[in-house]
Structure 1
Amino acid sequence: MKLLRQSCLILAICFIGEVLNKIFNLPIPGNVLGMIILLILLSTGVVKLEKIEEISNFLLEHLAFFFIPAGVGLISCFGLIKGNLIGIIFITLISTIIIMALTGLTVQLLKKR
């Protein structure tokens, strides 16, 4: 029952983000807006971490399952991307390296603070 309550809280915040996106026609996707709202609520203490900790850990442990639909979509559209495969792999590798470097630098800067 606790997991259901926690997931309902997260889904409600995500829903609020979607509604705000539709009402104000923002260029930010509704799910990202919901995550920003959740971050603000957690930072200000309106929502305590304990209220969503178990469901968050559960979702993080099973994160790989969320990538299955994207993988299936890539496989089903392989004929469309076959001609650009080398470019896609190159861009993926370069962007992964950049993201890893920036994440490492960000963590180092935050640790110094």
Structure 2
Amino acid sequence: MPVGITILLAFQLIGEIIAYALQGVVPGPVIGMTLIFLTLSLLKGRLPGFEAATMTTSRVLLANLGVLFVPAGVGIIQHLDLLARRGPALLAVILVSTLATLIVTVFTFLATKRLMGMREHD
């Protein structure tokens, strides 16, 4: 498992370096995941040790992913009084921002559709 973690972290590091070079256009972890996906896809069966190490470690990490959310849950429970005081304001902000996001998304889609010369019923 240490080999698998090392491989995963190496790909994340490579992704972070590329993201830094691209000035943050795409997040480093996304680039790293894409690179490891391409590597595993292109070299399927050629590097069995590499494949086994990354797959085993990935399965263990995914099986225990819930543990990573415990600190956030504890933080929420510790600040329930703050949530009770500011809850209505937080709810209003979440609802308004969600609605604004949906409206902007629709108008962006319609503008893109017009720019591409697509008709209403294509």
TM-score (norm 2): 0.57
Partner residue of 2:14?
A: 16
Q: Match for residue 35 of structure 1? A: 33
Do the aligned partners of residues 75 and 16 (structure 1) sit closer, same or farther apart at CA in structure 2, a change above 3 Å counting? farther
Cα distance change, pair 43–23 in 1 and its aligned pair in 2 (3 A): same
1:71–1:11 Cα change, 3 Å: same
Change (3 A) 1:30 1:41: same
1:72 deviates by 4.1
Instruction: Output one character per residue of 1:54-110: Cα deviation in whole Å (capped at 9) or x when no partner.
Output: 111110110101222333454566636612337759x7xxxxxxxxxxxxxxxxxxx
The structure whose residues are more often helix, as a share, is 1
Q: Please give the alpha-carbon distance, in whole angstroms, between the structure 2 residues aligned to 1:16 and 1:41.
A: 13
Q: What TM-score do you get using the length of structure 1 for normalisation?
A: 0.61
- Map 1:1-113 to 2 at 5 A: 3-45=1-43, 48-75=50-77, 79=82, 82-83=87-88, 84-85=90-91, 88=94
Mark the runs of 5 or more structure 2 residues left unpaired by the alignment.
99-122
- Give ranges in structure 1 of 5+ residues lacking alignment: 92-113
Give me the identity figure in percent: 30
Q: Report the RMSD for the aligned CA atoms in angstroms.
A: 2.9
Secondary structure at the counterpart of residue 24 of structure 2: coil
Query: In structure 1, what residue type is equivalent to 2:70?
Result: I
Pick closer, same or farther for the CA change 1:73–1:23 going to 2, 3 Å: farther
